[in-house]
Structure 1
Amino acid sequence: MDIPIEKKKISNKKLGLIIGALAIIALIVFVIIQTSGGTKFNVDKERISIHTVSKNVFQENIPVNGIVLPITTIYLDALEGGRVEEKFVEDGAMLKKGEPILRLSNTDLELSLINQETSVYNLLTQMQISQNAARQNTINRQNQFTDVENSLIEAKRVYSLNKRLYEKGAIGRQDFESSKNNYEYQEERMKLAKQVLSEDSISSKLEVRQARDSYSRTQSALELMRKKVGDLVVKAPIDGQLTSLDAEIGQSITKGTRLGQVDVTSGFKVRVDIDEHYISRIYNGQIGTVKLNNKAYTLEIKKVFTQVTNGRFQVDMTFNGEVPEGIRRGQNLQIRLALSAEKEALLVSKGGFFQKTGGNWIFKVSEDGSSAYKVNIRLGSQNTEYYEVVEGLNSGDKVVTSSYDSFGDVEELVIK
């Protein structure tokens, strides 16, 4: 037989406790919401930066650092190795082109020059002997040709005379035939003499040309050797200032060693480092500005080095027009490099807000200045002072541009 179970009823006392607990929980949740993710946050006006959005001329630019270098630098390398025997000038000296800087000695090179000179003189002597022999041989050939020519003339005279006498019956056939044969013989001798004289002339000319070519080559080798010995005296390649001279008397220098450099002091260039992110937007002719002694100077990109090292590449810039007074090699300059042409745009001052918002929103100040609330925005290009506002704000709007790190996730600022 089933026994009925009575349902327990909640007493009024317990019900009151439950309702009280729920109220406390609701209060705690409300406080947490108010403190951690609430809608308002009190700030002192002196602790924030407020700027007015304005419409003005805008040019996108980036800040870059550059180092001042001479407009031209010529490196001094040892063209020949040797021992430093003498220094004519010291580091920092102003030089004229061709002025000696230091002198090296190289016994092997100097001995090679002497041997080369001896070879040239020997060859010249042999060539003169050969030319004299060829000239004497030509004279002998010409004398022989003259004898043959004379014999031919005499044979022709006798043959012509005997022919007339034979036709008149004054001489016998034997005498006539003899004079005829002699005449024909002398003609053949003349042909042969002409051929020998012609071939002798060609052979002599060829021999002379070969001798001259051989002498010319040897003479060129001698000049080259003299130049190599001359390179033992290191000279200034241009007018300029000698810098970084690294050589002492008695020091052994190997061929190709960098001895120093000569800087042209008539002008300067600026070697600039730029982040590789901008490499596609950098080209010759772009303009940058730099301020020195409260005066602005203009520079122009003349050469772009597209090789990227450690995430950066370099460009060379030169001053347009006036060059700053007192500028020195090695001086660092802070340059604003323009990436676009000037245009009219809506601008907001740069500030710490961007690190928190990423440029997606900003606190806009109310008309009465008592509060600021979140508004969504979209930013475009930037320069060293401003962001370009694409949408979300109007000219005349006031916004908070200082850092938002202490604001948490509030939706509204109460400005006091």
Structure 2
Amino acid sequence: MSKLKPAAPGVERAAVWVDTVKRGPMLRLVRGSGTLVPEDIRWINTTTQGRVERILLRPGAEVTKDSIILELSNPQLQQAVQDAQLGHQSALAAYENRKADLERTILTQEAELASVETSYNNAKLNLESQETLLKEGLVAELQVKQLRSNVVDLKNRLAISQKQLENAKNGVKSQLAPQQAEVAQRSAQYQLRLRELDDLKVKAGMAGVLSQVPVEVGQQVGPGTNLARVADPTRLKAEVRIAETQTKDIRIGQMAEVDTRNGVIQGKVMRIDPTATGGTV
């Protein structure tokens, strides 16, 4: 008896699978229950404070990107829009007035330049004729010297006028820059207020089905409040609860079959929740 080997351990029949040993892939089937939920879901919130005036669509309605779900009111925002509009118009008027002043200044300098240039050309012609007469002894030399001095003076004035006109034209852009910046700032403020006013008409933002409207008429809402939820029913995913003890056999990318009670569709594992709830994942 002392030479006998220990007997093999025994197991219950129900705890083992009996089959012929074969070579090939081994199928490990993991089952779970769950629901089909939309893959694309969008919560629509408000960007400003307001009061719910009208709810135009209710859950279950089909919507497009531009469908208006509900409307808000905000008297303070409407006043802010008017103030921003007046501020923009005032800045634009100041810019146009400044531009007109600079254009008048340039026109005045151009007229002065033309006058000096005409005087200079006439003085040159007169000097040439007087020098001819001087050679013939018909005019005094002093008179010719005065004419020469006048031509030099007019030539200098012409050069100064040309430089002044050039500087005036080159300085238009820099002198208008402050007014242009003010117009741009006022315009941006006005456009921002217009967008906020337009946001009081809450739109779906995507095509799909309206699933929730968690507000009521007369309710005050603040920035960031969720006003509606829209989902795309054409793209669904299955959220399945699996026993925590079986999740070790599941890997992202594995093939899966989803029984929709209206047929079986093929899919694959996209995500595994890292936390367990009630013994399931």
CA–CA distance in 2 between the matches of 1:296 and 1:262? Answer: 27
* 1:85 counterpart residue number: 53
TM (normalized to structure 2)? 0.83
SS in 2 for 1:92: coil
Q: Deviations for 1:5-45, whole angstroms, at most 9, x for unmatched residues?
A: xxxxxxxxxxxxxxxxxxxxxxxxxxxxxxxxx9999x9x9
* 2:85 counterpart residue number: 117
SS in 2 for 1:243: strand
Unaligned runs of at least 5 residues, structure 1: 1-37, 316-416
Q: Does the 8 Å CA contact 1:82/1:232 hold for their aligned counterparts?
A: yes
* 2:94 counterpart residue number: 126
Question: Whose helix proportion is higher, 1 or 2?
Answer: 2
Question: Whose strand proportion is higher, 1 or 2?
Answer: 1
CA gap of 1:111–1:240, structure 2 versus 1, over 3 A, is same
Question: Any runs of at least 4 consecutive aligned residues in structure 1 with deviations exceeding 4 A, and if so which?
Answer: 38-41, 47-50, 272-281, 292-295
Which residue of the other structure, out of 142, 153, 156, is the alignment partner of 1:188? 156
2:134 matched to 1:178? no
* 1:20 counterpart residue number: none
Q: Does the 8 Å CA contact 2:254/2:268 hold for their aligned counterparts?
A: yes
Give identity over the alignment, percent: 19
* 2:255 counterpart residue number: 287
- How far residue 272 of structure 1 moved from its aligned partner, in angstroms, is 4.5
2:198 matched to 1:259? no
CA–CA distance in 2 between the matches of 1:276 and 1:186? Answer: 105
Q: Deviations for 1:83-135, whole angstroms, at most 9, x for unmatched residues?
A: 11111111221112211111111122111111111111112222222222222
Q: Write the letter of the residue equivalent to 1:243.
A: S
CA gap of 1:281–1:174, structure 2 versus 1, over 3 A, is farther
CA–CA distance in 2 between the matches of 1:195 and 1:151? Answer: 17
* 1:308 counterpart residue number: 274
* 1:242 counterpart residue number: 210
Alignment of 1:2-151 (within 5 A): 51-55=18-22, 57-60=25-28, 62-151=30-119
* 1:202 counterpart residue number: 170
TM (normalized to structure 1)? 0.58
- How far residue 297 of structure 1 moved from its aligned partner, in angstroms, is 2.1
Please tell me the root mean square deviation across aligned C-alpha atoms, in Å.
3.4
Q: Deviations for 1:182-239, whole angstroms, at most 9, x for unmatched residues?
A: 0000010011000111111122233345433421331122111100111111111011
Q: Write the letter of the residue equivalent to 1:149.
A: E
Q: With CA pairs under 8 Å and 6+ residues apart, which has the higher RCO, 1 or 2?
A: 2
CA gap of 1:309–1:163, structure 2 versus 1, over 3 A, is farther
Q: Write the letter of the residue equivalent to 2:275.
A: T
